[in-house]
Amino acid sequence: MDNALKFYIDGQWVKPRGNDRLAVIDPATEQAFSEIAMGTVADVEAAVQAARRAFPAFASTTPAQRKQLLQRVLECFMARYDEIAEVIVREVGAPKGLSHGWQAGIGKFHLEQLLNTLDTFEFQKTRGTTLINQEPVGVVALITPWNWPINQIVCKVAPALAAGCTMVLKPSEIAPLNALLFAEVMHEAGVPPGVFNLINGDGPVVGAALSAHPEVDMVSFTGSTRAGVEIARLAAPTVKRVHQELGGKSANILLDDVDLESAVTAGVNSCFSNSGQSCNAPTRMLVPAALQEQAVEIARRAAAAHRVGAPSEDGTTLGPVISERQFDAIQRMIAIGLDEGAQRVCGGLGRPDHLPKGYYVQPTIFANVTQNMTIAREEIFGPVLVIQTYENEAEAVRMANDSVFGLAAYVQSSDLQRARNIALQMRAGSVYVNYPAWDAAAPFGGYKQSGNGREYAEWGLEAFLETKGIVGWGS
């Protein structure tokens, strides 16, 4: 990639201020296939100042002008769509069907939804003699993760652009190449110089400098709760807005009236999608105690149907996890589950026998998991499902809500009203009833230690706006 060793600042591809480089590893082979430049505090300063200089002019553009710009971004994105998808196969390890259908596709869906949102969104309205004016928050820092990289980039960049903000993007240094391609998309679309800037780098240097920078008005971060706490701490002295989408440990309640075969199978598949590397994955399956034995056998069959293999091969449903560090962390959690007495239904420690190389994790299911076990409480971020039992609906709700997280929850029932009643009791930002289709117009974000604020559609747009009341406007 021509620009792998450069940053995009003030409308140009520029050389970094420092000399540090980082290899980009293919998780399927454990081999480096590219490298990127790593940013410094000086690079952050250059990018932030470019965004600050560009802000007054871009903030004064009309919503219609910004919508036209987003339309061009969508057109340029679609022109590079297959290229972006193939890069994600290589650097994330996502199976090619998933990468072409969803990893890249979700960027298209977010852009289309935001264009629809702009058709009806009111940046100005009057209430009596007061004008309510929605204005861009300013210069924003966008810090995004590696697991669904284009999703998190687009659902931050697009609404920030639509709001009239200028920005500095720091993508994950583990899967950075798709972000460099996206920067090329922004350039090709004619985004004005300084409005969009990109720096590669790590959290302790670039992420910290952006979070603490006095000229950054807002930080939007997606990642671990641990990193989110540090970003909030660094941002606090400047009282900037901090928007966070963090970890999860989502419960999936199967009520006693479900079609157990389909409900369990879909739950396993949803948990294992993207090799379990989704913050809102249904990683805790709660089943009625009387149905546990049947549920466990169905789950075992569902796991066995998955094909773990190279992401570029036809038929692969589970690719590798992202890195050696992630592989080791998942192995530690599996070992803890075994040590704490959970029943291993399938999978377990080590790679699949036919894959001696690559960061491949066996799809693993534990049963007889109690609420106090580590694997029931901590985010594993891999293809690991825990099955727990409950005696009645009230207990299921208590168990589901007994978590420091609150990103998502799932409810399955053949009685829609029954499922709705449960959904209203969930302490989570998103509740999915009967495995619905994904909705780009639904708000996304968490309760508790899963973060604050919401993304997608008008909620994502509002996150990047300040509200001004001009009293006496109509007097």
Nearest to 452 by CA among 223, 228, 152, 243: 243
Q: Report the alpha-carbon angle 34-245-44, nearest 5.
A: 50
The rounded distance, in Å, linking the Cα atoms of 24 and 208 is: 22
Q: Which residues contact 16 (CB under 8 A, 6 or more apart)?
A: 5, 6, 7, 37, 38, 39, 40, 43
Taking the C-alpha atoms of residue 44 and residue 67, their distance in angstroms, rounded to an integer, is 28
Q: Which residues are catalytic?
A: 245, 279
Q: If DSSP states are collapsed to H, E and C, what string results for 97-109?
A: HHHHHHHCHHHHH
Residue 369 tokens read as 């998991």
Q: How far is CA 266 from the centre of its chain?
A: 21
Residue 179 CB neighbour total at 10 angstroms: 27
Both structure tokens of 90: 């290589």
